[in-house]
Amino acid sequence: MFDDRIVPTRPYGEHIVLTCRNHPDLRWTTKNIAPLGCRSLFYWGNKEQHETHDFVREPECPCSIRDLVLSPEYDAELEEAYLAAQNGVDVHSVPAE
């Protein structure tokens, strides 16, 4: 099932956070099921609106789905989880500070 994921290191079907490479302040989420676009994309607006689950007040950008990439903060979380796994630590079982 490895080939069926957008992010191979995350569980199949888990929501992942995306941004547009041309509009890095905007956020979308989708399920971790490849290929990108085979499942619904949920537009969240800018980064602050996504973090606070605030109502979207701005339109989506006109860019192609090919311009969507993992958001920087989500990518950093994945990197942290990968490094922790390499050291035998399950970051999902450790309480957040």
Per-residue pLDDT of the chain (97 residues; tens, 9 = 90+): 447 888 888 889 998 999 999 999 999 999 999 998 889 999 988 888 877 777 777 789 999 999 999 888 877 777 676 666 666 655 444 444 4
Six token digits for residue 87: 């050291």
> What pLDDT is attached to residue 88?
63
pTM over 0.75: no
Q: How far apart are the first and last CA of the chain?
A: 33
> What pLDDT is attached to residue 74?
77
